[in-house]
Amino acid sequence: MSLSFEQKLANYAELAVRVGAGLRTGQRLLVQSPVECAPLARAIVRAAYAAGASFADVRWDDDDVVLARFSMAPEASFDTISKWRVDAELETAEAGGAVISIRATNPNLLANVDSKRVAAHQRALGAYRKPYMQRVMTNSLNWNLVSAPIAAWAQRMFPDVSPEAAVAAQWDAIFAATRADQENPVALWRQHNADLKRRKDLLTSKQYRALHFKGGETDLTVGLAEDHVWGGGSSLTPDGIEFTANIPTEEVWTAPHRDRVEGVVVSTKPLSYSGVLIDGIRIRFEGGRVVEATASSGESVLKQLLETDEGARRLGEVALVPHSSPISRSGLFFYNTLYDENAASHIAIGSAYRFNVQGGEHMTTEAFAAKGGNDSLTHVDWMIGSAEMDVDGLREDGSREPVMRAGEFVI
């Protein structure tokens, strides 16, 4: 029996609270939501109180307000940020609370805006937000990222139908990708997380020196950090709270070595970054550093991103996703990294997660870097996997072992 929309929405909210944030009785919750996603935000608040939350609050965002600022504000104003918005995140984390963010925006929102304005804002926001992001990167709080339809995004995904039909189709795609359209999705997600745990534990035990990606125009060797640990599925806070940062998630990932990346990599899907679509990304690495970067569209934004700081020219994540993942099988391109990164193997420029190195949560920045971990104000994933991609694990003795063939795991 198919579920009603109301049942699917309630399932989705419960997933975000119980599996995503892993909310504990007595915890407070901050929900960050676009105004267009109010039905989901309200459902999450209700699910949070049903799960025993002591306090649940919502911080609203609005694409129209963002666009007005980047289109009309004075040129010298883009290093000004709303500190209270970031302070809300940090205050919640410091109080032992959880954060759920609903990420949904028009993928082309800022396409006609000067990229220097976007870059100036991102640098200022990244610098002020770093104390909160350090908590995220060390699993110091339980947090979760989900999404929900907004009209402009839905019409980008489904351009050949009416706006109302596009939103309905996008809801169907999101419910399917997150298993919210099935009976007892919480149990299904717990089984899925257990499967990902087996894969990440196997890869951690291998302790490969590097991964070699070969397929299409990509020929890239990604050295792995010393004592690296693979992540995937759920994680644990220091207090033992189990949470799943991204719903959906199909990836296992770890920390590259910041100085040991060599070769050429070409994107296989566009990247939607800060309201701009960047497509046809081609990057060459030498000694772990980006030395050449081009894109068929959005190149100026890509280059501004790489100039964020020194760490933005190095890798902070390498992730493996089977080409047969549910999102890949759907044949849909979401124009949203939360979904698209779970349709293809990917890499991220910028900061590495501290927990991807054994003991990294307690290391100084210098000690983390000595293990190969990267530090930056940014962290941006983009997709490189396909049905053509082969991945080998390179051992310390120089031998290699097949990890993926034609985009599928063989270990």
pLDDT for 274 equals 86
CA distance 28 to 278: 37
C-alpha separations of 296 from 23, 277, 283, 293, 379 in Å: 43, 10, 12, 11, 22
What domains are defined for the chain? Answer: 5-178 (3.40.1830.10), 207-233+250-409 (no CATH)
CA distance 262 to 409: 23
Going by their DSSP bridges, the two strands 379-383 and 346-350 should be labelled as: antiparallel
CA distance 145 to 19: 11
pLDDT for 278 equals 96
Nearest C-alpha neighbor of 287 from the set 318, 258, 311, 327: 258
What one-letter code names the amino acid at 211? Answer: L
Nearest C-alpha neighbor of 5 from the set 147, 171, 246, 136: 171
Q: How long is the chain?
A: 411
User: DSSP of 362-394, one letter per residue?
Assistant: GS-HHHHHHTT----S-EEEEE---TT-EEEEE
Edge-to-edge strand order for the sheet containing 346-350?
252-254, 315-320, 346-350, 379-383
pLDDT for 326 equals 93
Edge-to-edge strand order for the sheet containing 28-34?
55-61, 28-34, 98-102, 143-146
pLDDT for 1 equals 66
User: DSSP of 292-306, one letter per residue?
Assistant: EEE-SBSHHHHHHHH
Question: If you compute the radius of gyration of the chain from its CA atoms, what whole number of angstroms results?
Answer: 20
Nearest C-alpha neighbor of 279 from the set 70, 71, 108, 106: 108
Q: pLDDT tens digits for the chain (411 residues)?
A: 699 999 999 999 999 999 999 999 999 999 999 999 999 999 999 999 999 999 999 999 999 999 999 999 999 999 999 999 999 999 999 999 999 999 999 999 999 999 999 999 999 999 999 999 999 999 999 999 999 999 999 999 999 999 999 999 999 999 999 999 999 999 999 999 999 999 999 999 999 999 999 999 999 999 999 999 999 999 999 999 999 999 999 999 999 999 999 999 999 999 999 889 999 999 999 999 999 999 999 999 999 999 999 999 999 999 999 999 999 999 999 999 999 999 999 999 999 999 999 999 999 999 999 999 999 999 999 999 999 999 999 999 999 999 999 999 999
Cross-strand pairs, 59: 32
Residue 224 DSSP SS3: strand
Give the global pTM. 0.92
Going by their DSSP bridges, the two strands 28-34 and 98-102 should be labelled as: parallel
